[in-house]
Amino acid sequence: MARQPDLSADGDIDRDVCKLVHHFAQRLDIHVRRVAEQLGLTATQVVAIRELSEPITARELANRMSCEPSNATFVLDRLEQQSLIERRPHPTDRRAKQIVLTPAGRRCRTTVLKHLGTESPLTSLTATQQETLRDLLKKLVAEP
């Protein structure tokens, strides 16, 4: 059973929300790492593959992964060595490359998504509750 965070005795909502969000993020990270271990990938490779739903640039992927472009490039180099992605010329920007999953990469993504959806910390919520949580979080992180 997961350890529950200690909430403030004085009912400080900001502190409680910060603790709960942090604890939830830790649980998600543990889940991603567990899936990565099961599939023989790194956690960052799992996140990259999850985010490659369509052809995008390395910069776009870095943004989705919340990391520096150089970190995304390192992950992409490893995925390319494993024949899971390929870099193709961008159709409208000749300075950029698009990252595209190979057939093996698409199969890997299907497996990654299946494993991420199994025993996820989110599965304790109904689909409606998951959508509500997503919408609330989007509102909280939106630019002012």
Closest CA to 125 of 29, 21, 117: 117
Using CB atoms within 10 Å of the CB of residue 41, give its burial: 0 to 12 exposed, 13 to 18 middle, 19+ buried: buried
CATH of 15-137, one of 3.30.300.30, 3.90.1170.50, 1.10.10.10, 3.40.640.10: 1.10.10.10
97-112 pLDDT tens trace: 999 999 999 999 999 9
Distance CA 121, CA 101 (A): 27
Q: What is the pLDDT of residue 75?
A: 95
**What is the per-residue pLDDT for 5?**
63
pLDDT (tens digit per residue) in 31-87 = 999 999 999 999 999 999 999 999 999 999 999 999 998 999 999 999 999 999 999
Domain boundaries, the chain: 15-137
pLDDT at position 50, please?
96
The Cα–Cα gap between 49 and 46 comes to 5
pLDDT in tens, 117-143: 998 999 999 999 999 999 999 998 887
Which pLDDT score is estimated for 42? Answer: 96
Structure tokens at 20: 């709960």
In terms of pTM, does the model score above 0.75? yes
